[in-house]
Amino acid sequence: MRRVVCNGLRLGLRDVTEADVPALHAVYGDPAATQHMPFAPRSPREVADLVGQAMEAARAEPRLLYVLAVVDAEHHDVIGVARLRVEPEHPHSAEIGFGLHPHQWGRGIGTDLVRLLLSFGFKQLGLHRIWGARSPDNLPAQLAMLTAGMVEEGRIRHHLRTPAGWRDSVVHSVLEDEWTER
């Protein structure tokens, strides 16, 4: 099994562990942090189940799912979660997603996180295309992805069913030859 370690100036990414459940629940269980996600806030048991599934996925060969703890480089606290899913039918392409604890908002951490995910995908996994979908109302995610060098491709209508009903998604992507590590 290949363990993930990817460090930037302010953040690091590593595989999630059972010890991360309380910190990840602070994100997945927070109504503000999940307002743009396609699910209601999660219970501690649901977060523990997700971590278990992520740990199982980390043992798969080939590995297609990376669920990563976002770690503050200075204090080593888990402040968010990042996800990269390689598409089995297109192994050169992967989808990213991320969530940060609300106390981290407004500091440029989202942009740093997207940059770190792109670096991991292109440099360590050798991907050609990385994409992510966001809620049309999630302007901080839009800013983070655009600032990190991703291009807005368009809107997928009624892409996800959420507790509030069907939601559109706006897709962003970047190709290997467009990406520059900033």
Contact status, residue 136 vs residue 158, Cβ threshold 8 Å: no
What is the domain extent for residue 109?
A: 5-178
* Three-point CA angle 154, 39, 135, nearest 5°: 20
**Can you give the C-alpha Rg of the chain in angstroms?**
15
Q: Say which range, 3-7, 12-16, 84-88, 110-114, has the weakest mean pLDDT.
A: 3-7
Residue of 99, 128, 117, 108 lying closest to 37 (CA atoms):
99
Quick: pLDDT tens for 92-121.
999 999 999 999 988 899 999 999 999 999
| Total tally of structural domains belonging to the chain | 1
- pTM equals 0.94
How many angstroms separate the CA atoms of 83 and 64, rounded?
A: 11
Q: Is the dihedral of CA 127, 125, 58, 118 positive or negative?
A: negative
The domain that holds 56 is classified in CATH as 3.40.630.30
Quick: pLDDT tens for 143-164.
999 999 999 999 999 999 998 8
